[in-house]
């Protein structure tokens, strides 16, 4: 069996046009001889709206909550009408009305009680994926793809940590064998919601926000799929932000570890921790753009492929603050660093980068309103200064392990920029430094020009850049001739 788990994010099912495109993508995989299992998110923004409707009800705003729920009902009803012939749409409408009526009952209850537990929050949030998966399956059938909607709560069995439930791999494997395998063997496409699950007693749980990728990896792992495709609205991982550097290239293949380093920078691709179940089983994960299905995307694999270039990506994180703590007693004395970190711990503030010398410690944190209070507490231990509007630039690549002269090339490229802190070694695959926020764009462009001018065509999509450059050149030529 050539099983492929295809996960579609909220934007891939946001309206009738997107759902139609999604049906075509699934059909293209079947045409290739693959057998898809589809995992789908709620329609774009629906989870946010469900969470706010629950809060609205619990605040006692019964009418407000019911009005939002009515709008959600309309959106699903209209999308079904746009996708399906009348009698099929009517079947979905009836099914959907039962769910919305039940949701409205919960909302009235919340408004009466004035209290919202995470258990009920999970129940309310689960409607988004339940509604989208049923609609997607009906559309697939209508477009000639034999499909069956499967309730994810029969498969994704978790513990009872509502809001961020932990999946039970063994039970998921059992349940996948029970509910998914027979469908696939029958040549049908199971369509299930991501993000949601149930505990062993059948109470609805969720895997945490953005959890549909996690569902796809769990199902892919349980079913030993040959690939997992994450369909989203970006082209995949890029060498850097194309808005900062128009020369950015798509990265064709990246290792799991490299992708994990990048996740911290909030790159708009999946969070790698969620695909761990796939990586552990050596199943490649592809990030693909459902608006440009012919594009190859980015393949995330467990071991890095051979690459001539030292780096895969340059990422930047802005809005950081550097805190300098200058010891008025010996820094290296026993327990001193612990006291400093205890302050951050008390304020529940995560520290990103640390660098120490004999007399001082510099730390970086996200700029936030707790800083004055943190500085005041640190001030009891040492002299403290802090400075905002800083940014962290991070160069990621498996190939920097053990290569000579890389740091020299990096700092040569940004020799005109003031570097405040440097870190290399915590992970052998990244080199990071702190600079002023205002210098970020310049630094990124200059580093990109140094390291990605002659990229390895096996790893980077060089062709797209060449095409863009020659298109630009011909526009320039044309405007020259107009001037003459
Ligand atoms: N719909 C859920 C969310 O928005 C899960 C997902 O989209 O992955 O968080
Ligand atoms: Mg989402």
pLDDT digits (tens, 9 = 90+) for 267-305: 566 777 788 888 889 999 999 999 999 989 999 998 877
Please indicate whether residue 195, judged by its CB atom, sits closer than 6 Å to ligand 1. Answer: yes
Q: Look at residue 17 in the predicted model and tell me its pLDDT.
A: 97
Q: Ligand 1 centre from 296 Cα, in Å?
A: 24
Regarding the beta carbon of 211 and ligand 1, being less than 6 Å apart is answered yes
Mutation test residue for ligand 1: of 7, 8, 10, 214, the one with most atoms within 8 Å of CB: 10
Say yes or no: CB of residue 193 within 6 Å of ligand 1: no
Q: Which helix (H) or strand (E) holds 365?
A: strand 360-366
Q: Helix H segments across 143-273? A: 169-179, 181-185, 212-222, 256-263
* pLDDT of amino acid 64: 97
pLDDT of residue 356: 84
The dihedrals phi and psi of 322, each to the nearest 5 degrees, come to: -100, 135
Q: Where are the alpha helices (DSSP H) in 180-252?
A: 181-185, 212-222
Max CA separation in the chain (angstroms) = 79
Query: Is 197 touching ligand 1 by the criterion CB < 6 Å?
Result: no
The per-residue pLDDT for 424 is 80
CA dist., res. 338 & res. 244, Å (int): 39
Cβ 210 under 6 angstroms from ligand 1: yes
From the CB of 232, is ligand 1 less than 6 Å away? Answer: no
Exposed e or buried b for every residue in 175-202, given b needs 16+ CB within 10 A?
bbeebbbebbeeebbbbbbbbbbbbeee
* Confidence band of 358 (pLDDT split at 50, 70, 90): confident
Distance 53 CA to ligand 2 centre (A): 18
- Ligand 1 centroid to Cα of residue 68, in Å, is 19
**Nearest atom within ligand 1 for CA of residue 214:** 8
Contact 228, 215 (CB under 8 A): no
Which residues have C-beta within 8 Å of that of residue 59, sequence separation ≥ 6? Answer: 114
Most confident among 37-41, 233-237, 241-245 (mean pLDDT): 37-41
Query: Ligand 2 (ion): which residues have CB within 5 A?
Result: 10, 41
Quick one: average pLDDT of 376-393? Answer: 92
pLDDT of residue 313: 93
Q: Which domains does the chain have, with CATH numbers?
A: 3-233 (3.40.1160.10), 313-455 (3.30.2130.10)
Residue with the smallest CA separation from ligand 1 atom 5 is 210
- The pLDDT tens digits for 338-356 are 889 999 999 999 898 898 8
Instruction: Assess whether pLDDT exceeds 60 at residue 400.
Output: yes
Q: Is 331's pLDDT higher than 60? A: no
Q: Compute the distance from residue 484 Cα to the ligand 1 centre, in Å.
A: 55
d(CA 405, CA 417): 19
Among 7, 38, 212, 275, the mutation site with the greatest number of ligand 1 atoms within 8 A of its Cβ is: 212
Please, which pLDDT band fits residue 266 given cuts at 50, 70 and 90? low
Q: What is the pLDDT of residue 268?
A: 61
């Amino acid at each position: 069996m050539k099983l492929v788990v295809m996960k579609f994010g909220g934007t891939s099912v946001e309206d009738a046009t997107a759902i139609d495109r999604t049906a075509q993508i699934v059909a293209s995989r079947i045409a290739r001889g693959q057998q898809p299992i589809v995992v789908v998110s709620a329609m774009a923004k629906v989870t946010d709206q469900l969470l706010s409707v629950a809060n609205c009800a619990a605040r006692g705003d019964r009418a407000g909550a019911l009005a939002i729920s009515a709008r959600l009902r309309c959106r699903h009803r209209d999308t079904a009408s746009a996708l399906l012939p009348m009698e099929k749409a009517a079947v979905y409408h009836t099914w959907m009305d039962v769910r919305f009526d039940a949701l409205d009952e919960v909302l009235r209850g919340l408004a009466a009680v004035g209290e919202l537990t995470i258990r009920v929050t999970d129940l309310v949030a689960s409607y988004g994926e339940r509604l989208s998966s049923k609609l997607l399956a009906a559309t697939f059938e209508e477009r000639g793809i034999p499909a069956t909607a499967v309730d994810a709560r029969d498969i994704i069995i978790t513990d009872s940590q509502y809001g961020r439930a932990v999946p039970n791999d063994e039970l998921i494997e059992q349940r996948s064998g029970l509910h998914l395998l027979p469908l696939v063997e029958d040549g049908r496409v199971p369509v299930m919601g991501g993000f949601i699950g149930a505990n062993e007693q059948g109470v609805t749980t969720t895997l945490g926000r953005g959890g549909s990728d996690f569902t796809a990896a769990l199902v892919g792992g349980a079913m030993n799929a040959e690939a997992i495709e994450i369909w989203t609205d970006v082209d995949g991982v890029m060498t850097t932000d194309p808005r900062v550097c128009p020369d950015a290239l798509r990265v064709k293949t990246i290792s799991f570890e490299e992708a994990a380093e990048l996740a911290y920078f909030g790159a708009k691709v999946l969070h790698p921790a969620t695909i761990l179940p796939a990586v552990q089983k050596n199943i490649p994960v592809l990030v693909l753009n459902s608006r440009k299905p012919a594009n190859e995307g980015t393949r995330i694999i467990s071991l890095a492929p051979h690459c001539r270039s030292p780096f895969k990506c340059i990422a930047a994180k802005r809005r950081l603050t550097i805190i300098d703590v200058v010891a008025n007693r010996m820094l290296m004395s026993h327990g001193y660093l612990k006291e400093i970190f205890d302050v951050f711990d008390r304020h529940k503030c995560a520290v990103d980068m640390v660098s120490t010398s004999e007399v001082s410690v510099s730390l970086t944190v996200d700029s936030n309103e707790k800083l004055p209070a943190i500085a005041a507490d640190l001030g009891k231990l040492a002299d403290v200064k802090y400075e905002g509007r800083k940014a962290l630039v991070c160069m990621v690549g498996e190939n920097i392990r053990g290569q000579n002269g890389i740091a020299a090339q990096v700092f040569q490229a940004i020799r005109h920029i003031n570097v405040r802190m440097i870190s290399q070694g915590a992970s052998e695959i990244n080199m990071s430094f702190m600079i002023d926020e205002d210098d970020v764009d310049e630094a990124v462009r200059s580093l990109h020009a140094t390291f990605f001018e002659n990229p390895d065509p096996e790893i980077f999509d060089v062709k797209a850049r060449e095409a863009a450059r020659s298109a630009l050149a011909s526009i320039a030529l044309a405007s020259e001739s107009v001037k003459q």
